[in-house]
Amino acid sequence: MNNKYLKIGEEFEYKILQLLRKNNIKCFACRLYYNIDNTNKFIGVGGIDLTGCYNEIFFAIQTKFRTDHYNEQDKDIKNFDKALELQPKEVIGFFVTTINYSEESKNAALETKRKIFLCNEENIVQSIKKLSNFEIKKESIDKNAPRPEYLNELIRIKEILQNSKDKVLIKTKNKNIYLMLIENRIDKWEQNGWYGIKNKKIKAPKEICIEIRNLYKKKQTIELYYIKKK
C-alpha cells in the first residue's frame, strides 16, 4: 500500500475516533501494527478500524478515505460485512467514507448479512445516537383503557419502521408486549395488520418483517430486530 495513502487513511480514521469521543461516544481503535526491533510490523485490522458502545448499542466502524474517482466502494462494503461475521451478532456496522455513496453501494448495504449503516464524517455521530434512541421505554398499562398502551406502542413502532430507510434495532421492556409474544396472544394486533407465527416471528404485511432475537423471561425483556422489506 502506498505510504502516502496509508497515512491519509490513518489520519481520517483518527479524526473519526476523536469526533466520536468528543461527542461522548465510547470508541476504541484496533491495533494496526506492532513495533518489533524498532520496525513497525503492519498486521491489519481484520476489516474493522474502530469499535465502541453507546447506550448499550455495540458497534464496529470501517473508515475509508477515498477520492471521487474510486469505483469499488460496493466491494469495500461487502468485505466489511465479512469482517462483521466474525463479531458477536449484537454488533452493528457503520461504514464511514469521504465520498458519496453510489446506488451499487447502497444496494450492497441492503443485501448484507449483518446490519451496516452508510455514513460520512458529517452524520456518523447523529447516526449512532439516533439508532440508540430507538429504545422504547417501559410503560404503565391501564387494563381498563379502551385502547391499551401496548397497542399504541406497536403503532409507534410501525411508524418508526415505515419512516426508516434501513435496518433498525429496537429494545422494549413492555411487559404486556412480552406476554403477548410468548403466549401468542396477538388477536388485537390484527386490526392493525399484525399477526404471529410460532411465537417467534411477527409480521406486518408487505413492507415490514420483525424477527425476535432474544427472550429474557426473568427480565421480561425482548429484543426485536426489524428489517424493512423491499
Domain at 100, CATH number: 3.40.91.80
Based on the domain organization, do 168 and 207 belong to the same domain? yes
Segment 136-166, tens digit of pLDDT: 333 343 444 444 455 566 656 656 655 655 5
The DSSP call for residue 204 is E
Distances (CA, A) of 48 to 44, 77, 85: 9, 11, 11
Based on the domain organization, do 35 and 81 belong to the same domain? yes
Please report whether residue 142 resides in a domain.
Answer: no
- Predicted structure pTM score: 0.56
Number of domains the chain is built from? 2
Please report whether residue 128 resides in a domain.
Answer: yes
Average pLDDT, the chain: 69
Which residue range is the domain that position 173 belongs to? 149-228
For 208-224, what is the mean pLDDT? 44
30 vs 128, more confident: 128
Based on the domain organization, do 154 and 185 belong to the same domain? yes
Task: Determine the pLDDT at residue 59.
Answer: 92
Segment 29-87, tens digit of pLDDT: 876 666 677 776 666 667 899 999 988 788 999 999 888 767 788 899 999 999 999 88
Last residue of a domain, one of 106, 132, 158: 132
Based on the domain organization, do 117 and 161 belong to the same domain? no
Based on the domain organization, do 15 and 121 belong to the same domain? yes
Q: In whole angstroms, what is the distance from residue 87 CA to residue 178 CA?
A: 28
Task: Determine the pLDDT at residue 131.
Answer: 76
What angle do helix axes 149-162 and 175-183 make, rounded to 10 degrees?
Answer: 80
For 161-189, what is the mean pLDDT? 52
